[in-house]
Structure 1
């Protein structure tokens, strides 16, 4: 905060000197742009800080570029509104500066001293600005998709060999030699954002009494630090199970387009599967979010279910949070799985992830209606108190079962809590990740204070299962060995240096002379690696493939393509109407098309109407510099014009309906979005009608965003929205309990 205040002070001083720095139109325009850039950067930081509690961190970088598909972020409408307001404030402030400086004739003439002071204070303000500071701090940790790869991703064989040799000194494969004859079953609970700081009685007296009691009876670890790329869920899962951080080599939105997730890494699941464990994952959230489902299916899990798979089995399908199943419901399902697997006499491991302590305010399930923390004014702490009850009840239930003596339960946080209703208190503590092992064979409770990270969790768990081994970069914290957090003075910096080597765990192939396209499965196979399309493949100088995917329209494939170098080879498979901007001859084609070549050279474009083997010779085409420049310039005019244009229409209705007229030039895709106000009843049925015919009926919660993508045939159409009060559908307009449903109704045409 001190940096932010200092930055704002220097910025205001710089504004003062800029006012006394001459009147030319170019100078006024320049300073107006600087003012907007500064205010906009603060806006970005504060929005990011709202989610993370620590500004722009690894989680922000990861999810901006690699996806939010499946996320439950309907609850963040308030910060969205505030962010927009502050953005508009920046626009108004910069415009006001530009116009008012023009009218002021009393300003002294140009002075070199004032000019230097103005530049100096602006530079200091931006240096202290939290957004540039955060971005520069993370620039080496994540590979920004807008930064063209080309030859930049190929660091050379000699340097790569040196990095690989250094990395191999510390990266260890798990050993299968057992130190005990028995190997108990395992239940691993990732408690969403439930960090160890919540257990601090000085900060949160009486918040988690039940889990603290379990902690006192078992083995707990008090010094598990957050390192890099482990401050968001899938990053924490990878680090804790594979012993390495999650470095993503592609711009794959949510990573769900990858058939295999970190395939080259040997993770906890791989090892347990090799030891004849049956592996099960149950999660209340969508498996699509950040490619979580692919992570588990890649690494030995044979039974993987998330929100979509579990929801049909619920008696009350409306009893869900924006993220997915409530924790009490999830643990009921897991207990049934536990009993069934135990009865089968098979060795097993069940992994799960809770949801109810997700920020900003958490979620209270039906089992916790009477649970409040202190006066109940802090919703987030109420949710934590609820989680204490739900998880401890589940653990005690496992311990009390006839199979409890054969089951080890692990409880850990997936990452430190992002910004929520308790952040101000959390920041007062020494923040560490939660990690405890509930082992029925353990007779001595103890707290282990050895410095470690989530990377050490897998190796430490294996010790409790009867295997004394390291795993990846992780070490057994119950042994005499030091973790790499102790071995290296700056462990984070060391991991960043190993990044090119760690990326290779994705096992991305090298392009050969041919690729195989399966039109039925919508896949492209390069050597033995298969990717789902639509996708964009970038090929570097070493002919290594880097895949980019498109999900939920967070970033279009063309947004990556327009930033490629003119001579960077690529393969792009997408809908023909999108690829037609490279070749208008296919604009009327249906289905998918293939574009292959270089933006500054030859490109082959063809329709994919069957399964086929495609020659990649065109990727190696060469042109002279002048030809490359002319071809590239021409193509970029078309692509950029298409990528950056956007249009939408808005409608506002102070009642039950909203209606929009649209024109579809061809069979085009549109996205419907709306937000309801806050009526007192809790559920409403809504209908989307196209030209008067019911397109979809479902239920919606008040004050929640809804979005739906639809295809609209060519011609003029009316799209209308109808919401009725399911409790009293005929008295919506005359009711006395404030059920006026204002509808912010928008439809966007989806471009490339």
Structure 2
């Protein structure tokens, strides 16, 4: 038998061994925690640095929009830039620390502790810089404070008498990505020594930009809530900032896009215009497709439409989709088609080559500015737009057509305007060509992109009671704009605050919590069970219309006592239903239900599609009602 001393010795050995094991585990955990703290601190610091390099004039509103927007449709170059500049750099520094940790013999813990402390300090300094530069405290305060500025100054188009001429004019509205007057030379109202946009400068000065007798460049100021593409398009179409209460979602995930709002598309649709949106990127990005289809029933001709219609190869993709050279070629085709109809048309076009960072070099671009790629791209855009306008002016329909050209927002390129004097007032490029009316007086006007809304209608010959719509003013009139009444800083501060009107307009926006969103997505992964109901009806699936990019499911003659609360349609082509999409059928005035199936939701895949139609009873239970098939063709 063991002696007492041996038992004590064994006990001591066991305790010592366990203590050593525990110390090793704690040490390993400490090392892992140290590395993680250092890595995430570095990632925060590099992310903040990258953010301000990428978006030099970033505001808190724009930052919130970029955070909330989905990656779908985002230029892959931005994602790659972030990975290279932030993720890989942080990993590289951590690996370097790890190598040093392995090499040194003594005080390894101090090296790791020092690295973690320095990383946290750098992250803290970066966060403090971001807090100060974006004035997050003021932003948070404004977002929790109500203001009546929008409510007091907003003019609802529904309350205004708008009279169009008997012979309605066509409209071509061209949004130029990131195009500013800044790029022109100083003698023409720009901020550069050499004019990067000579053709656009000539177009603007020869036509109407509301510079009065000065005959220099003038344009709209981009106010809060208008500084990114979809917000800019929204502002120029409605006279309002895009202030939305979405956290973790974006407008393309919503069923409706402010249905209570009246936009220029709604007004022109009521006047019998056929309307088209043409862009070389994904129209879904930022909710642009939803906005234009729901406010004017625009035909959408985007990147996916061009792939599906055979305009570009199935595997074609450059920059954000396809380049502006192709955009203007396709625009000519669509314009000739639209002008062959007796209806007046509205052709809205969005360019993309001049998007940050540094733009896209196409085969038309020249090295006029040496190694400055962005300058070469902007110069190329100026030339292409002028050539397109010249082509339009040579067409028979031009006599009765107004052309509006406007930059969407100031550039977000990281360094192109870094040498521009801070006192220079940066404005988006603006010109009205072949307007039905002329400006009153020779006054140089101060205006924002909100003013484009009523001014565009006036350029078509429409008479607007009071000359104001939304927060905008008809610049062809002598009515004062908001920027002629208040300074820019005051307006920006008030736009940042909460508004009863904006809350009412955005009340249909569904703000989902992360758990709710995950549940909703899980529910759509497979079809709900249920038995077919015997309800006498007629199901029609219309042929695919490549011009609008959709086909429709129409359900008629539903029994009045069918106890139906809603109709939903499940549509898919893949056997495993991995591409399953749900569509809510909308009740029509004649009692029928209609669901629109968009080819862009399926990347324009040419195939036969299964359709299962479900009724939803008053208890919210789904029941398989009928089955059919649809087809997307070239």
On the 8 A contact 1:56/1:131 being kept in 2, the answer is: no
Q: Report the Cα distance in structure 2 between the residues aligned to 1:392 and 1:47, rounded to whole angstroms.
A: 35
Per the alignment, residue 269 of structure 1 pairs with 265
Q: Kindly indicate whether residue 466 of structure 2 is the aligned counterpart of residue 472 of structure 1.
A: no
Alignment of 1:592-631 (within 5 A): none
2:170 pairs with 1:185:
yes
Assess if the C-alpha contact under 8 Å between 1:364 and 1:383 holds in 2. Answer: yes
* Aligned pair partner of 1:459 in 431, 454, 469: 454
Indicate whether 1:575 and 2:522 are aligned: yes
Taking the aligned partners of 1:36 and 1:55, their CA distance within structure 2 comes to: 25
Structure 1 counterpart of 2:279, from 278, 283, 288 = 283
| Residue aligned with 1:403, SS | helix
| Distance in 2 of aligned mates of 1:200 and 1:315 | 38
The alignment status of 1:591 with 2:576, answered yes or no, reads no
Q: Does 1:398 align with 2:418?
A: no
TM superposition shift of 1:405:
1.6
Alignment of 1:189-200 (within 5 A): 189-200=174-185
Deviation at 1:561, TM superposition (A): 2.6
Q: 1:94 & 1:142 partners in 2: Cα distance? A: 43
Which whole-Å deviations, capped at 9, do the CAs of 1:610-645 have from their partners, x for residues lacking one? Answer: 899999xxxxxxxxxxxxxxxxxxxxxxxxxxxxxx
1:387 correspondence with 2:384: no
CA distance in 2, matches of 1:254, 1:395: 34
Aligned to 1:325: 322
Q: Deviations over 1:11-62 (max 9, x none)?
A: xxxxxxxxxxxxxxxxx99999998776544322222123322356433321
Indicate which of 430, 444, 447 corresponds to 2:425. Answer: 430
Greater helix share, structure number: 2
Per-residue deviation, 1:273: 1.7
Distance 2:258 2:293 in 1: 11
Whether the aligned pair in 2 keeps the contact of 1:219 and 1:448 (CA below 8 Å) is: no
Measure, in 1, the Cα distance between the counterparts of 2:494 and 2:384.
39
In structure 2, the CA distance between the partners of 1:445 and 1:313, relative to structure 1 (3 Å rule), is farther
Deviation for aligned residue 1:571: 10
Unaligned runs of 5+ in 2: 1-30, 211-217, 534-561, 566-575, 580-604, 606-634
2:252 is aligned with 1:256 = yes
Task: Tell me the SS of whatever aligns to 2:291.
Answer: helix
User: What residue is the counterpart of 2:236 in the other structure?
Assistant: 240
Q: Aligned partners of 1:416 and 1:453: how far apart in 2? A: 12
From the CA coordinates, give the structure whose radius of gyration is larger: 2
CA contact (8 A) 1:319 1:325 kept: yes
Contact 1:229–1:247 under 8 Å retained in 2: yes
**Structure 2 CA distance for partners of 1:310 and 1:142, relative to 1, 3 Å:** farther
Distance 1:573 1:355, change over 3 A: same
Name the CA distance, whole Å, in 1 between partners of 2:123 and 2:72: 38
Aligned-residue CA RMSD (Å): 4.4
Alpha-carbon distance in 2 for matches of 1:248, 1:190:
22
Normalising by the residue count of structure 2, what TM-score does the alignment of the two structures yield?
0.66
Distance in 2 separating the partners of 1:71 and 1:284: 13
Whether 2:476 is the aligned partner of 1:481: answer no
- What is aligned with 1:518? none
CA, structure 1 residues 668+282, in 2 after alignment: closer, same or farther (shift >3 Å)?
closer
Do the aligned partners of residues 453 and 189 (structure 1) sit closer, same or farther apart at CA in structure 2, a change above 3 Å counting? same
Taking the aligned partners of 1:287 and 1:233, their CA distance within structure 2 comes to 11
Say how many residue pairs are matched. Answer: 486
- Asked if 2 retains the 8 angstrom alpha-carbon contact of 1:254 and 1:288, the reply is no
TM-score normalised to structure 1 length: 0.56
Would the aligned equivalents of 2:440 and 2:478 in 1 still touch at CA under 8 Å? no
- Going by fraction, where is strand more abundant, 1 or 2? 1
1:482 Cα offset (Å): 2.4
CA deviation profile, 1:479-529 (whole Å, cap 9, x unmatched): 222222343441122122234531331342xxxxxxxxxxxxxxxxxxxxx
Task: Please state if 1:378 is matched with 2:372.
Answer: yes
Contact kept? 2:240, 2:471, Cα under 8 Å: yes
**How many angstroms does 1:235 deviate by?**
0.8
Match of 1:626 in 2: none
Mapped to 2, the partners of 1:426 and 1:608 lie a distance apart of 65
2:559: which partner in 1? Answer: none
| Cα 1:342/1:608, change in 2 over 3 Å | same
1:444–1:464 distance in 2 versus 1, CA, 3 Å: closer
The alpha carbon displacement at 1:255 in A equals 2.2
**Aligned match for 1:66, one of 61, 69, 78:** 69
Sort the Cα spacing of 1:204 and 1:445 in 2 relative to 1 into closer, same or farther, 3 A. farther
The whole-number CA distance in structure 2 between the counterparts of 1:126 and 1:34 is: 15
List aligned pairs for 1:655-734, cutoff 5 A: none
CA distance change for structure 1 residues 394 and 609 in 2, over 3 Å: closer, same or farther?
farther
Instruction: Using the TM superposition, give the Cα deviation of residue 275 of structure 1 relative to its aligned residue in structure 2, in angstroms.
Output: 2.3
State the Cα distance separating 1:440 from its structure 2 match: 5.3
My pick for the range that moved more, 326-335 or 307-316, is 307-316
Counterpart CA distance in 2 for 1:142 and 1:355 is 33
Give the 3 Å change call, closer, same or farther, for CA 494–78 of structure 1 in structure 2. Answer: closer
Separation in 1, partners of 2:126, 2:221? 30
Contact conserved, 1:277 with 1:348, CA < 8 A, in 2?
A: yes
Secondary structure of the corresponding residue to residue 388 of structure 1: helix
- Structure 2 residue matching 1:304: 3-state secondary structure: strand
Query: Among 508, 515, 519, which residue is 1:561 paired with?
Result: 515
Q: Call closer, same or farther: CA 1:142–1:30 in 2, change over 3 Å.
A: farther
User: For the residues of structure 2 that align with 1:475 and 1:443, how far apart are their CA atoms?
Assistant: 15
Call closer, same or farther: CA 1:100–1:32 in 2, change over 3 Å.
farther
Whether 1:351 aligns to 2:336 is: no
Q: 1:439 — aligned with what? A: 434
Distance (whole Å) between structure 1 residues aligned to residue 412 and residue 53 of structure 2 = 8
Task: Decide which moves more: 188-197 or 129-138.
Answer: 129-138
Cross-structure match for 1:170? 153
Q: Secondary structure at the match of 1:404?
A: helix
- Distance in 1, matches of 2:578 and 2:308, equals 29
Once the two structures are TM-superposed, the CA of residue 67 in structure 1 deviates from its matched residue by 1.7
The Cα offsets for residues 595-620 of structure 1, whole Å up to 9 and x where unpaired, read as xxxxxxxxxxxx788899999xxxxx
Bigger mean CA offset, 479-488 vs 228-237: 479-488
Per-residue Cα deviation, 1:56-98 (whole angstroms, up to 9, x for no partner): 643332122232312222465244212124433675799999x
Answer yes or no: is the 8 Å Cα contact 1:263–1:507 preserved in 2.
Answer: no
SS at match of 1:47: helix
1:305 aligns with 2:301: yes
Q: Which moved more, 1:171-180 or 1:328-337?
A: 171-180
Cα distance per residue 1:375-402 (max 9 Å; x no partner): 3x11111111111111101111111222
Matches within 5 A, 1:70-219: 70-74=73-77, 76-88=79-91, 103=110, 125=125, 128-130=128-130, 133-134=133-134, 136=136, 139-140=139-140, 167-174=150-157, 175-178=160-163, 183-201=168-186, 203=192, 205-219=194-208
What residue in structure 2 maps to residue 525 of structure 1?
none
Residue 410 of structure 2, aligned match among 386, 391, 416: 416
Which residue of structure 1 lines up, in the alignment, with residue 55 of structure 2? 52
Quote how far apart the aligned CAs of 1:132 are.
6.1
Deviation of the 1:178 alpha carbon: 3.0
2:495 aligns with 495
In 2, the alpha carbon distance for the partners of 1:668 and 1:268 equals: 39
Cα distance change of structure 1 residues 427 and 44 upon mapping to structure 2, 3 Å threshold: farther
